[in-house]
Structure formats: structure tokens, C-alpha cells
Amino acid sequence: MDIRIYVGPHRTASQHLASILTNNANLLDAQDIMFYSSTRTTLHHINSALKAIAGGGDKEDAVGLLLHSLTRGRDTKRLLLVNPNIVGNVTQPFGKEVFYPRTTGLIHQLQTLFGANKLQFYTSVRNPATFVPSCYAQSMLNASFSDYGSFLKDVTLPSLRWSTFLQRLQGKRLDIPVTVWRFEDYPLIWRDVVQAFSGIENCQNLVGSSKRINASLTLHGAQLLHKYIEDHPPRTRGEFESIKLSFLEKFPSSATEITSPDWTAKTIQSLTHNYEDDWYYIERMDGIETIQPRKFK
């Protein structure tokens, strides 16, 4: 079985990708392709299989049960999984100098489970100048309340490189195929992305649009939300949801509104320059395939 996993990162249109796959289920089914859409239980099934093997259970039985759960017992030639939480959490998307520190361990675990199958990874990259604030805003919306300084504590921002993340995804022998694209290009190439990820024969048959479906807060809005929560702690989940909705209406995220006293224009410029250099390197990495906007003459 061909197993393809979109590992994120967070805040790179994973919900849009999942919605397109869900809305085109009949097209996928006609070509024996299955998208497992329950992100809440994907990790549960994977962890259950790993625990069973670690506990001395038969690996073949554990993997067989895992695949049966993910495919719901259906015969399929290709299984698609979309879950950024596989590599980490949006509340802590980086360590001191790397994105998603647990990625290396993840690769070993997934190879343990799917080594006999054809495993491929798909991922996106995003300018850290917008990725970091967006993750902070989402962590606030997920009720992980910390100030922006604490969110960035101990991280060395200039050291963050997506190329390093991709190398860890490939594994030590660079034997896992990895396909990558830029979040900034996604609205222009989403059909190409879905076709590459799913393997469908004709992406022009896909139903959908590039419209965003998961808006967030501006960095300023997220920081104001944190201050408001400190001064007016919500007593119930419902009360927090009401506060969150109010802030989303007043401070919707925007690609141009990312500065704040804690996130200066100089910081943005420096991270953007690093990102552009890093993408130039990614384009030339062994074993990495990129998806980019088409050039027409």
C-alpha cells in the first residue's frame, strides 16, 4: 500500500488541503485512493500500534490492525493522512534552534510501522516571519495562554531553517521521498499540490477554490487577547469561545499586519532574507521534490 502523509507544519493551509480531499471523496474513491480525515484519532491509532509492538506484540498484527483502522477495512492502493500534530504541537513548533524537535524520533517510529509499505512525506514551508506569529495566535485561540515573550523563550530565531527540518524528515539515509512547497505559493498551486499528494489522474476535475477557511488573529490581536484574558479570566469554555469570536472579528489575520513592539520590521526583514536563502538551498537538496508555480512563456 502506498502511504502518503502530509505532516504540516501548522498554519500552512492543512485544513484547506483536508477539505479539498474530503469534498472530492468520490473522485478519490473512483481511483482507489482513500483519505483518512479523522485527525483526532490518527495519532491514537498510530500510538496504539507502537505501544503494542513495544509491549512485545506481533508487529505484523499491530500494523495490520492499524491499517485496518485507518482504511476502515477497505481495499485501497493509496492511503492519505493529513495531520500536522504528527510532528508536534502548534503551541511549541520549535526548539532552541530547530523546527519541531521531535521529528527525528517520529521518522524512526513511522519507519517501524510502515517500513514494508511505500511511505512518502509531503510538507510545506512558510516564512518564519509570519509562521511564528501565526502559531502564537493559534495557540492563544487553542486556550494556551502565554505572553509572546514566553512563547519565544529560549529559541534562537536566526538558526531556524526549514532545510534542516526536511533533512530530518528524510531520515539518516535520505531514503524517504519528500515533496515540499511554499505556503506563500499555495493559493496558486493548490490543484498541483492535491494532485501530487493524492496521485489523482487529472487535477482539473477537483472541486474547490483557493479561498481561506481557517482565518486567525493578527499578532497584535493575539497579544491583546492575552492581556484581556489575564484581566478577565473566562469562567467557562463557552465564555472563552465568545471572547475568541469577538477578537477574531476585530483582529482578523493579515499578511501585511505582522509587526508589533516585540516583532519589529528589522526582525521580519532578517527572517525573510534567511527564508529566501533557505528555499534556494531546498530547491537543490537531494531527494527533495518541490512544487512551484508554473511559468508560462
pLDDT digits (tens, 9 = 90+) for 15-26: 999 999 999 999
Asked if 199 and 2 count as a contact pair (C-beta separation under 8 A), the reply is: yes
Backbone angles phi, psi at 120, to 5 degrees: -135, 145
Q: What global pTM score does this model have?
A: 0.92
The residue range of the domain holding 51 is 2-213+273-291
How many separate domains does the chain show? Answer: 1
In-domain check, residue 261:
no
Establish if 55 belongs to a structural domain: yes
By the 10 Å C-beta count (0-12 exposed, 13-18 middle, 19+ buried), 39 is classed as middle
Residue 170: inside a domain: yes
AA identity, residue 179 = T
Q: What does each of the 297 residues of the chain score in pLDDT, given as a tens digit?
A: 899 999 989 999 999 999 999 999 999 999 999 999 888 899 899 999 999 998 999 988 999 999 999 998 888 999 999 999 999 999 999 999 999 998 988 888 888 888 767 889 999 999 999 999 999 999 999 988 889 999 999 899 999 999 999 999 987 777 789 999 999 999 999 999 999 999 998 888 899 888 877 778 999 999 999 999 999 999 999 999 999 999 999 999 875 567 676 788 899 999 999 999 999 999 999 999 999 998 765
Whose grid coordinates read 472563552?
A: 240
CB 119 within 8 A of CB 3: yes
Ramachandran angles phi, psi of 181, nearest 5°: -145, 165
How many secondary structure helices (H) and strands (E) does the chain include?
A: 12, 6
Q: Is residue 103 part of a domain?
A: yes
In a domain, 34, yes or no: yes
Is residue 204 situated within a structural domain?
Answer: yes
Domain presence at residue 223? no
CB 3 within 8 A of CB 115: no
- Distance separating alpha carbons of residues 237 and 241, to the nearest angstrom: 6
Residue 41: partners with Cβ closer than 8 Å, 6 or more residues away: none
Strands ordered across the beta sheet of 33-36: 33-36, 78-82, 2-6, 118-125, 178-182, 288-291
Asked if the structure places residue 168 within a domain, the reply is yes
CATH label of the domain that carries residue 162: 3.40.50
- Residue pair 17/194 in contact (Cβ under 8 Å)? The answer is yes
pLDDT of residue 261: 67
Among 94, 265, 73, which residue's Cα sits nearest to residue 165?
94
- Secondary structure of residue 212 in the 3-state scheme: coil
